[in-house]
Structure 1
Amino acid sequence: MSTFDEMFVAPSMLYKEYSLELVTPMALYGATNQGVPELRGSSFRGVLRYWWRALQTEQALKELIDRLQIAQKTLVNQQRVETLYNIETILFGGAGNESITGKSPVRYSWRSNELQTSQHNPRPHRESQEGGNFQREKGQTKLNMFTESQQAILIQSLKKQNDLAGYYDDVLEVLLMLGSLGRRSRRGFGAIQWDGHSFDTVGDYLGRLSKLLNTLGNRAVHHEPAVCLHLPDQKENRPMLKAVWLGSRMEDCHSLLRKIGKTSSDRRDFTQKKTPRPLGDAEPRFASPLWVTVRKIGGGYYPVISELQSEVTRAANEYVRERNVFLQRLGVEL
């Protein structure tokens, strides 16, 4: 496990700590040991890059290029995706073109006490209830996961005199509002909540998220009292954030995880003859465009559903109808 104590504390770096609660069990593992959960800074940064790409509308990229003070002429003859890749390389490191390479100016690591683990079924909806106790069905494998309701400290290390310090903070906060980590993270597992996010109502949550997205160049629209945000359509062949919904409240995370799993499984079974399945498929590989995480609001647990549209999603048969059924079963009022 990567810890702050193991890092070289450089005087040229700025350090910022985020105290995070594990809202649901987390199945996050290292590359060589799938049986022992492990918090890894590289895994976190990979998820952060995914959400950063999902936010990069044409307007957001334009505003970011201005902030990076990159001459527009150096990008004008490149394809859009190549431009995106080069900017991502500047922000998070990697091998870009000959003039854009290097290490990321930002790093992430973890500090925590020894986190407790327990066995959980990653598909809890496949467990049957007998006498008030949920029993595992034959053939279902439980995984060793970090147990929910524990605290861990995420540490952001950023080079001093970086004009984008606030930008990194904003992108990270989007992840802390919409994202999750590890296996089955699109179906509620691995949800995390920053202690700076204490929302009394769904409206408070969506209001903060709307303000944050607009700061990053995304024109999010929140029509109160609706429990959703909508963003303009983007004609990109990659996942782009299109909307965010909140479903109905539940009193414990495990009941909600079962509900999320069953909703996903039911829609998958219903659409099994369609190619590709509108809400995700294994062959051909097509990740679900609906990312469901869990957040605590006003003492209850809510499903937060992010729609990540792409050309594949828009071309899939009956996608909108299947999406709406999925949302309604999680308590979204359309």
Structure 2
Amino acid sequence: MDAFCHTDGFPHPFEAHMIRMVADYELVTPAFIGGADNQTGFPELRVPSIKGALRFWWRALRWRQGISVAQLREQEARLFGSADSTIGRSRVSLALTGMTPSSGAKVSKRGAKVSELFDAAGARTTQQRRQPAPGLTYLGYGLVTAKDGKLERGCLRPPLAFQLSLMFDPRERQDAKALTEQLAQAMQALGLLGGLGARSRRGFGSVALRALRIDGENAWEAPKTPGELVKRIRALHGNDTRSSDSGPTPLPEWTALSARTRHLVLVGRPDAQDGTPTHLLEQLGQELVRFRSYGRNNKILGNETPERRFADDHHLFKDVLKGKRPQTHPRRAVFGLPHNYYSSSDRKGMQVQPRAHKLDRRGSPLLVHGHRCDQTPVLVLSFLPARFLPERRNKISVARHAVPLRPDEELWRPISEFLDRVRAPSRRDHLSITDAYEVPAP
């Protein structure tokens, strides 16, 4: 079934003083993107989803410029628009172009087996496609049923090539260079580190940037090797005005690239039968299960024995079921909130979430991005530590009891340990990779 791609036109005509940027992107992992009619569950590639992702990466690149939260909000509103009548509409206009039914994307409908997601480019044999995909099921929690591995929502399957045209009004000539650089870097960050749709932080909906043109001139070309990819990611950091040799680098107030950021580039096998970013994502998901899961009946992933690195989290849950008041939160909460527990034997659960009013989520600071360098499949893991919860609202609710957030060094340790683990040569066969590069610190 061919994918439906929603193409939006520019809201106002092109004018001579406006700057036009055209980015060539490719969808490289399955994308769960809601369509204009959420009732149908039919996925679409839509401008609002892309604009939201660009805004996220624009914000992520602004911390290093030394601005405050208030300055960030003001600059974002003036560039991307605001409901405030004194600011008005967005200066940035987007349109999707260059898509045809032959562009290759297919749709997997709700109820399809998750293993169908491997069948994008003949990546799996028929027998293999009948087998479960526990890694994708784990990473796609909420999108894939754990019991039978079926999709809860329809998704777009790669590959899908598309063009994103962006026009913006610099208003003042002196703004043109700075704004062009900011928007170009946001488009690059989306295509090197990010994705679109639900569970994009877990590697779904990854889009790879292939080329970028500004006013008709080539401004950027895709890295052909993993080594070139490492350099492009490093270049995104630029000069961090907050870095200092005299003391610790401050933690960002919002999710952002900083001197504390870590990036890992995991290099797959291009000649393997399953040599796709989606296959690497499956292997990474299984590795995350090994790292995080306590297991059931002393088993994980079928017949593997669990490592039980977070047995203390399990014991905390069991103590809560016995009526004990929690004094701390599970260490795995750092991977994102809410974080739910359930005991099938007791038929009881425990929810871990932010304590603050009207704040029920905290996205994972570990972002996964699928990519291809020529024919080599790659995963990029980005750890972006930032203030975990807002100041004065930094309590976590564990079974409705408020507990303090762990200190930063202790809080972030599980993610650092996971990155160290997947970087180790001893894990390469488990991950189906040939190498792992750490992007040099900015």
* TM-score normalised by length of structure 2: 0.59
Pairwise CA distance, 1:139: 3.2
User: Residue 308 of structure 1: CA displacement?
Assistant: 1.4
Q: Does 1:239 align with 2:243?
A: no
Secondary structure (helix, strand or coil) at the match of 1:174 reads: helix
The answer to whether 1:3 aligns with 2:7 is yes
2:50 to 20, 26, 44: 44
How far is 1:238 from its partner? 2.3
In the alignment, is residue 117 of structure 1 matched against residue 106 of structure 2?
yes
Residue of 55, 64, 67 corresponding to 2:61: 55
Partner secondary structure for residue 176 of structure 1: helix
For residues 237 and 166 of structure 1, do their structure 2 counterparts lie closer, same or farther at Cα, with a shift above 3 Å needed?
A: closer
Corresponding position: 1:293 with 2:369: yes
User: Which residue is equivalent to 1:186?
Assistant: 201
Check if 1:172 corresponds to 2:187.
yes
The structure with the larger Rg is 2
Structure 1 residue aligned with 2:378: 302
Structure 2 distance, partners of 1:177, 1:293, is: 7
Aligned equivalent of 1:30: 35
SS of 1:16 mapped into structure 2? strand
**Aligned 8 A contact 1:187 1:260 in 2:** no
Q: Once the two structures are superposed, what CA deviation does each residue of 1:72-102 show, in whole Å capped at 9, x if it has no partner?
A: xxxxxxxx32222111112211146x86x22
Aligned AA (2:14):
A
Q: Which residue of 1 aligns with 2:412?
A: 319
2: CA distance, partners of 1:249 / 1:185: 20
State the identity as a percent. Answer: 23
1:152-209 deviations in Å (ceiling 9; x for gaps): 1111121265512233222221222111111221122111122224323222112223
Task: Please say if residues 244 and 305 of structure 1, whose CA atoms lie closer than 8 Å, have aligned partners that are also in contact.
Answer: yes
For 1:274-309, what per-residue CA distance to the aligned partner results, in whole angstroms no more than 9, with x for missing partners? 155232232313321110001112421111011111
Give the structure 1 partner of residue 421 of structure 2: 328
For the residues of structure 2 that align with 1:318 and 1:288, how far apart are their CA atoms?
Answer: 12
Q: Give 1:31 shift.
A: 5.4
Q: 1:10 to 1:157 in 2, by over 3 A?
A: same
What's the counterpart of residue 71 of structure 1? none
> Separation in 2 of the partners of 1:314 and 1:124?
40
| 129, 138, 154: which one aligns with 2:164 | 154
Query: What residue identity is the alignment partner of 2:167?
Result: S
Letter in 2 for 1:40: R
Q: What is the TM-score normalised by the length of structure 1?
A: 0.76
1:269 Cα deviation from its structure 2 partner = 2.3
* Shift of residue 245, structure 1, vs aligned partner: 1.4
Compared with structure 1, are the counterparts of its residues 109 and 43 closer, same or farther at alpha carbon in structure 2 (3 Å cutoff)?
A: same
CA contact (8 A) 1:267 1:326 kept: no
- Of 73, 76, 79 in structure 2, the residue corresponding to residue 91 of structure 1 is 79
In 2: Cα distance, 1:122 partner to 1:173 partner: 33
When the two chains are superposed, the root-mean-square deviation of aligned CA atoms in Å is 3.4
CA contact (8 A) 2:277 2:372 kept: no
Structure 1 Cα separation of the partners of residues 336 and 407 of structure 2: 13
**CA gap 1:233/1:302 in 2 versus in 1, 3 angstroms:** farther
User: Deviations along 1:37-96, whole A, 9 cap, x unmatched?
Assistant: 112212111111112222222x5145xxxxxxxxxxxxxxxxx32222111112211146
Question: 1:228 is matched with which residue?
Answer: none
Q: Is the 8 A contact 2:93 2:167 kept in 1?
A: yes
